[in-house]
Amino acid sequence: MRLSLPKSYSKKLWRAIAEFDLIQADDKIMIGFSGGKDSSFLAYALSVLCKSAPVPFVVEAVHVDLGFNPDYDYTAFYEFFERIQIPLHIEHTRIQEMVFAGGKKSACARCAYFRRGVVNAHAAAKGFNKVAYAHHYDDAVETFLMSILYAGQVSTFLPSTYLSESKLTVIRPMVYLREKEVREAKKFVSFEPVVSPCPMDGCTKRHEVKDLIRQMTMRNKMVFYNVAAAMCEGSVRDMWPGRLDGKEMEARMKQFWAPKYCNQEE
């Protein structure tokens, strides 16, 4: 069966690929496949794009089994990847034990760290030079707001990041696709996303921020795009100066109060 992508989707994917220089000739791209709607769309889309791209590149996928259900039946995964003609490797791990051994606090950050490590190690061992993740536009905006609200930093992930340690480039070709579009793509991707067995699923900071944006967008539909615009270089204006450390502050206070005491001495 010949796979195809609606033009509205391929346009946004090609825009990101060209604008951020995500794919070059002879790239070997490893997809991090979670089994969800986003990464199943990415795998499907890259399968289509690599057949029509102006340059040749190779795509494979790796799924990191976190170890929640050792008896999980992966038949549907293998059938999907056979249909889209991409080799799939499943790496079995016990990441969930390590993640929850430290309690629920920061569990997602630890989980993401270990998962990325497994994906990168597999890609590097197979001689791949790129890893593709299925982060979309909503993910980028949510990460940006999460970073401000919970870390006090203005940052989000980039469409492309070079990891000097592993010599891999992480690419995110879906950064211009809205989550709603990815959800609707299920009708042609034809893969039933797996339900996460993780106890943290649905109660993360990301879900709080997603809900916040959704509620604010109901009152003003530009909210999402305004936050998205603030993520881009050139949007930063009128920032406060960096905070002084303890010693600098002490010196500044001494300087500030000095005239009073000097006058008293006179």
Binding site for ligand SF4 (CB under 6 A): 66, 99, 107-108, 111-112, 196, 198, 200-201, 204
Smaller CB separation from ligand SF4, 50 or 62: 62
Shortest distance (Å) from residue 194 CB to ligand SF4: 11
Smaller CB separation from ligand SF4, 108 or 230: 108
Smaller CB separation from ligand SF4, 48 or 95: 95
Beta strands per DSSP E along the chain? 27-32, 57-65, 88-92, 130-132, 160-163, 168-171
Shortest distance (Å) from residue 115 CB to ligand SF4: 7
Shortest distance (Å) from residue 39 CB to ligand SF4: 13
Query: What tokens does 220 get?
Result: 């003003």
Query: What tokens does 207 get?
Result: 């879900």
Query: What tokens does 105 get?
Result: 């606090």
Smaller CB separation from ligand SF4, 42 or 111: 111
Shortest distance (Å) from residue 99 CB to ligand SF4: 5
What is the spatial distance between Cα 199 and Cα 128, in angstroms, rounded to a whole number? 33
Question: How far apart, in Å, are the Cα atoms of 205 and each of 49, 146, 154, 200?
Answer: 33, 7, 16, 10
Shortest distance (Å) from residue 1 CB to ligand SF4: 32
What is the spatial distance between Cα 231 and Cα 228, in angstroms, rounded to a whole number? 5
Question: What residue type is 73 in one-letter code?
Answer: D
- Cα-to-chain-centroid distance, residue 250: 41
Shortest distance (Å) from residue 119 CB to ligand SF4: 13
Smaller CB separation from ligand SF4, 50 or 95: 95
Shortest distance (Å) from residue 71 CB to ligand SF4: 18
User: What end-to-end distance do the CA atoms of the chain give, in Å?
Assistant: 94
**Whole-angstrom Cα Rg for the chain:** 23
Give percent helix, percent strand, percent coil of the chain, each to the nearest 5. 50, 10, 40
What is the spatial distance between Cα 179 and Cα 168, in angstroms, rounded to a whole number? 26
Is the separation of the CB atoms in 170 and 131 below 8 Å? Answer: yes
Place of tokens 């603030």: 230
Smaller CB separation from ligand SF4, 94 or 126: 94
Smaller CB separation from ligand SF4, 30 or 95: 95
